[in-house]
Structure 1
Amino acid sequence: MSACLLWFRRDLRLSDNPALTAALARGTPVIPVYIHDPEAERPWTPGAASRSWLHHSLTALAADLAVRGSCLIVRRGPALDTLQALIGETGANAVLWNRLYEPALVARDTRIKAALKRDGIEAGSHNAALWCEPWQIATGSGAPFKVFTPFWRALATRLPDAPIQPAPERIPAPREWPAGLSIDELALRPQLAWDQGFYAIWQPGEAGALARLASFIDDGLHGYRDARDRPAEGGVSRLSPHLHFGEIGPRQVLRAVQRARAGGEVPERDAEHFLRELGWREFAHHLLHHFPETPDAPLNPGFAAMPWRAVRDHEAELRAWQRGRTGIPIVDAGMRELWATGWMHNRVRMIVASLLTKNLLIPWQHGARWFWDALVDADLANNTLGWQWVAGCGADAAPYFRIFNPVLQSRKFDATGRYIRRWVPELADLSDAAIHAPWTLGADAPRGYPPPIVDLGASRQRALDAYARMRAAG
Structure 2
Amino acid sequence: MNLTTLSTMLSLCWLRRDLRLDDQAALYHALHSGYPVVPVFVFDTNILDDLEDKADRRLLFIHDALSGLQRQLQAMNSTLDVFHGTPEEAFLHWTARYDVKAVYTNDDYEPYARDRDAAVAKLLAARNIAFHRYKDQVIFAKDEVMKDNGTPYTVFTPYSKKWLSKLDAFFLKSYPVAQYYRHFHRQQALPVPPLSSIGFRETERDFPDNTPEQALLAHYDQTRDYPAMNGTSRLGVHLRFGTIGIRQLARQARQLNEIFLKELIWREFYQMILWHFPHVVGGSFRPEYDKIAWRNNEREFQRWCEGKTGYPIVDAGMRELNATGYMHNRVRMIVASFLTKHLLIDWRWGEAYFAKKLLDYDLAANNGGWQWAAGSGCDAAPYFRVFNPALQTEKFDRDMRYIRRWVPEVDELDYMSSAIVEHSMARKRALETYGKALKQ
Rounded to whole Å, the distance in 2 between the matches of 1:188 and 1:237 is 32
Change in 2 beyond 3 A, CA 1:45/1:31? farther
Could you tell me how far 1:320 is from its partner in structure 2? 0.8
Match of 1:358 among 329, 336, 341: 341
How many residue pairs match? The answer is 429
* 1:414 corresponds to: 397
8 Å Cα contact 1:55/1:189 also seen in 2 = no
1:84–1:46 CA distance, 2 compared to 1 (3 A) = farther
Task: Supply the distance in 2 between the matched residues of 1:134 and 1:185 (Cα, whole angstroms).
Answer: 38
- The residue aligned with 2:438 is 471
Q: Alpha-carbon deviation of 1:54?
A: 2.0
Q: Look up the SS of the partner of 1:16 in the other structure.
A: coil
Residues 139-158 of structure 1 deviation map (CA, whole Å, 9 limit, x = unaligned) = 12221111000111111122
RMSD: 2.4
CA distance in 1, matches of 2:103, 2:18: 15
In structure 2, relative to structure 1, the CA distance for the partners of 1:43 and 1:240 (3 Å cut) is same
- After TM superposition, the structure 1 stretch with the greater mean CA deviation from structure 2, 73-82 or 112-121, is 112-121
TM-score of the superposition, structure 2-length normalised?
A: 0.91
Deviates more, 1:69-78 or 1:456-465: 69-78
Instruction: Tell me how far 1:471 sits from its aligned partner.
Output: 1.6
Q: CA deviation at 1:94?
A: 1.2
Residue of 80, 84, 95 corresponding to 1:72: 80
Deviation at 1:222, TM superposition (A): 2.5
Aligned equivalent of 1:141, options 135, 138, 149 = 149
Which residue of structure 2 lines up, in the alignment, with residue 384 of structure 1?
367
CA offset at residue 255 of structure 1? 1.6
Task: Give runs of aligned pairs for residues 27-46 of structure 1, distance below 5 A.
Answer: 27-39=34-46
Provide the identity percentage: 38
- CA shift at 1:65, angstroms? 2.4
- Corresponding position of 2:261: 275
Deviations 1:427-448 (A, max 9, x none): 3xx5xxxxxxxxxxxxxx4446
Instruction: Tell me the distance in 1 between the aligned counterparts of 2:199 and 2:224.
Output: 32
2:195 aligns with 184
Q: 2:278 aligns to what SS in structure 1?
A: coil
Bigger CA drift: 76-85 or 326-335?
76-85
Q: Please list the CA deviations of residues 444-468 of structure 1 after superposition, one character each: whole Å capped at 9, or x if unmatched.
A: x444666111111101100011011
Please state if 1:373 is matched with 2:356. yes
Other structure's SS at 2:345 match: coil
CA distance in 1, matches of 2:123, 2:438: 48
Supply the distance in 2 between the matched residues of 1:132 and 1:123 (Cα, whole angstroms): 21
Please show how residues 430-441 of structure 1 align to structure 2 within 5 Å: none
- Code of the residue aligned with 1:252 in structure 2: it is Q
| Cα displacement (A) at 1:185 | 4.7
> For the Cα contact (< 8 Å) 1:36–1:186, is it kept in 2?
no
One-letter amino acid of the counterpart of residue 141, structure 2: E
TM-score by length of 1: 0.85
Corresponding residue for 1:249?
Answer: 245
Question: Is the contact between residue 274 and residue 280 of structure 2 (CA under 8 Å) also seen in structure 1?
Answer: yes
Matched, 1:165 2:172: no
Instruction: For structure 2, list consecutive stretches of 5 or more residues without a partner in the other structure.
Output: 1-6
CA distance in 2, matches of 1:183, 1:100: 26
Are the counterparts in 1 of residues 79 and 190 from structure 2 also a CA contact under 8 Å? Answer: no
Q: For 2:340 and 2:176, how far apart are their aligned partners in 1?
A: 45
Q: 1:358 to 1:42 in 2, by over 3 A?
A: farther
Q: Distance in 1 between matches of 2:107 and 2:389?
A: 39
Superimposed CA distance per residue, residues 199-253 of structure 1 (whole angstroms, 9 cap, x where no aligned partner)? 33x15xxxx41x2x2x2x2x21222212111111122111111000011121110
Q: CA deviation at 1:272?
A: 1.2
Question: In 1, distance between residues paired with 2:189 and 2:279?
Answer: 39
User: Quick one: which of 6, 21, 45 aligns to 2:13?
Assistant: 6
Rounded to whole Å, the distance in 2 between the matches of 1:172 and 1:450 is 66
Q: CA deviation at 1:398?
A: 4.1
2:280 partner SS: coil
Secondary structure of the residue that 1:168 maps to in structure 2? helix
Question: What is aligned with 1:26?
Answer: 33
Question: 115-124 vs 130-139, which deviates more?
Answer: 115-124
Q: Distance in 1 between matches of 2:42 and 2:134?
A: 18
**Which of 281, 286, 291 is residue 295 of structure 1 equivalent to?**
281
CA distance in structure 1 between the aligned counterparts of 2:371 and 2:65, rounded to whole angstroms: 30
Q: In the alignment, which residue of structure 2 is the partner of 1:333?
A: 316
SS in 1 for 2:40: strand
The aligned counterpart of 2:425 is 458
Task: Give 3-state SS (helix, strand or coil) of 1:34's partner.
Answer: strand
Partner-residue secondary structure (3-state), 2:100: coil
Contact 2:78 2:189 in 1 (8 A): no
In the other structure, the counterpart of 2:121 is 113
Please say which of residues 23-32 and 337-346 is displaced more in the overlay: 23-32
In the TM superposition, what is the alpha-carbon distance from 1:273 to its structure 2 partner? 1.1
Partner of 2:4: none
CA pair 399-44 structure 1, distance change in 2 beyond 3 A: farther
Once residues 226 and 95 of structure 2 are traced to their aligned partners in structure 1, the CA distance between those partners, rounded to angstroms, is: 52
Contact 1:31 1:174 in 2 (8 A): yes
Matched, 1:224 2:220: yes
Stretches of structure 1 lacking an aligned partner (at least 5 in a row): 431-444
Deviations 1:232-288 (A, max 9, x none): 112211111100001112111012234xx3xxxx4xxxx111111110000000000
Amino acid at match of 2:261: L
Deviation at residue 80 of structure 1 after TM alignment: 2.7
Cα offset, 1:180, TM superposition: 6.2
In structure 2, the CA distance between the partners of 1:185 and 1:46, relative to structure 1 (3 Å rule), is closer
DSSP-derived class of the 1:125 partner: strand
| CA distance in 2: counterparts of 1:127 and 1:9, whole angstroms | 13
